[in-house]
Chains A and B, each alone.
Chain A
């Protein structure tokens, strides 16, 4: 349903600002995941430290979005698509904040991994996982900011690929650990990293579900058992 502009232009401005803030926050967590992955692969302690530190800005952004949303609910008494916009923004900001935490956790693991011991092959799996997850995050934010239900459905469907890659990495790390027990510490850390990225993919799915609700007013569920995207 295409929307006309509000009679009260300041209300329109506030809704636009909310979408802009989500978009900016989305950009911040994309950079955070990219940097955290780079720090892991390059064993860049400085970048890891910066990435962990940058999470505070993501947290501040979530607070800003929450406060703006609560203020709008109190002052504007939003209805229909506006109400869905504001409620969805609160959900999306929460999921983005969690993705930010995940990036921070990834960065913090850099100092625990012995770069001399870990084979480059192990990192390629993490890089692949990160790329896939980043794509999911980016498209989920796009689906929200452009109110595109088709992209939202596609993000939900593609979560399977992230999950499948995690299972495959899990097996791979297990094999390395069995081959040489000295790999256990590093592989366990990398396994946690893979698990974190898989969780970030789940948050992208949540964002896509919020975007679908914003656009259609219907709830979208991804049923793991049947592998189908369903409406409530």
Chain B
């Protein structure tokens, strides 16, 4: 009698055409200091990918590479290759403004513009010239607020300042603003860290709905949130991608000791 290990099913690999974004040998330097080391990661279309790891592990740095937010930091240098639909986003021919319209971002702290709720959402489509009439713009604002789950709460006060909303509402307003430009990928950097449990639950429900239309990459410090919202989880430690895999496997049976120690709260 023997243990028939060959009965195990191989893990499903994404087909090349379903990979929306891919990082290959991504290294990031802040001046002399290397923050990321040869990261390889595929981001599959219409999936939520969670990036987890202790503070300073490089997860936010990697996230910011995906829409070239690191370009705004003078001393930052990115090596390797990051592709969107197979095209290198660091290619000289790439228009960064257009890239950021395709790869939107939501930040840790809700940061609505000091403008009305309507203007917050209308701002992106307007500067990108996505509409030619007021009706079209109204349609985009309405649809975006609906998709962000905020419409019912603000439909009667669209002219009031976005900064007057509650923290959870402001974050949903920022999500509405991000999706108004019809991005293909949505990056979220700890979107719920400043929110209470109810507002967090609403955002998590929203993430699950948004997944049908967008590909989402989320950085979170909450293991439970990563387990709840994502299909794939990647664990970073000291600038290296230690392990990535289906979320269920990472949280029930991680293969790497460092992952195990981190997610169970042990000293690594």
Check B264–A79 contact: CB distance below 8 A.
yes
Check A80–B1 contact: CB distance below 8 A.
no
Check A1–B252 contact: CB distance below 8 A.
no
**Smallest CB-CB separation from B259: which chain A residue?**
A80
Check B266–A5 contact: CB distance below 8 A.
yes
**Smallest CB-CB separation from B254: which chain A residue?**
A80
Say how far A82's CB is from chain B's closest CB, in angstroms. Answer: 5
Interface string of B202-241 (1 = CB under 8 A from A): 0000000000000000000001100100000000000000
Complex: how many Å from CA A231 to CA B253? Answer: 15
**Smallest CB-CB separation from B4: which chain A residue?**
A230
Say how far A19's CB is from chain B's closest CB, in angstroms. Answer: 15
Known: A77-B223, A80-B252, A231-B8. A7 touches B3 (CB 8 A): no
Complex: how many Å from CA A80 to CA B252? Answer: 4
Say how far A85's CB is from chain B's closest CB, in angstroms. Answer: 10
Tell me which of A5, A11, A83, A153 contacts B3 (CB under 8 A): A153
Range of interface residues on B (Cβ < 8 Å): 20 to 34
Complex: how many Å from CA A145 to CA B253? Answer: 19
Complex: how many Å from CA A80 to CA B259? Answer: 9
Check B260–A3 contact: CB distance below 8 A.
yes
Q: Is B2 an interface residue (CB 8 A)?
A: yes
**Smallest CB-CB separation from A220: which chain B residue?**
B3
**Smallest CB-CB separation from B266: which chain A residue?**
A4
Across the interface, which residues of A come within 8 angstroms of B227, CB to CB?
Answer: 79
Q: Is A157 an interface residue (CB 8 A)?
A: yes
Across the interface, which residues of A come within 8 angstroms of B2, CB to CB?
Answer: 228-229
Q: Is B10 an interface residue (CB 8 A)?
A: no
Say how far A159's CB is from chain B's closest CB, in angstroms. Answer: 12
Q: Is B16 an interface residue (CB 8 A)?
A: no
Among the interface residues A5, A6, A80, A231, which one has the most CB atoms of the partner chain B within 10 A? A80
Across the interface, which residues of B come within 8 angstroms of A229, CB to CB?
Answer: 1-4
Tell me which of B8, B252, B266, B267 contacts A83 (CB under 8 A): B252
Interface string of A204-222 (1 = CB under 8 A from B): 0000000000001110000
**Smallest CB-CB separation from B2: which chain A residue?**
A228
Complex: how many Å from CA A19 to CA B224? Answer: 25
Q: Is A8 an interface residue (CB 8 A)?
A: yes
**Smallest CB-CB separation from B268: which chain A residue?**
A4
Check A7–B1 contact: CB distance below 8 A.
no
Q: Is A31 an interface residue (CB 8 A)?
A: no
Tell me which of B253, B261, B267 contacts A217 (CB under 8 A): B253
> Can you list 13 A-B pairs with a CB-CB distance of less than 8 A?
A3-B264, A4-B261, A7-B265, A79-B227, A80-B254, A84-B252, A153-B3, A217-B253, A228-B2, A229-B4, A230-B3, A231-B4, A231-B7
Interface residues of A (CB under 8 A from B): 1-8, 11, 77-84, 153, 157, 216-218, 227-232
Interface residues of B (CB under 8 A from A): 1-5, 7-8, 223-224, 227, 251-254, 257, 259-261, 263-268
20 further interface pairs, Cβ-Cβ under 8 Å (given A6-B266, A80-B259, A231-B7): A3-B260, A3-B264, A4-B261, A6-B265, A6-B267, A7-B265, A7-B267, A11-B265, A79-B252, A80-B251, A80-B253, A80-B260, A81-B260, A81-B264, A83-B252, A153-B3, A228-B1, A229-B4, A231-B3, A231-B8
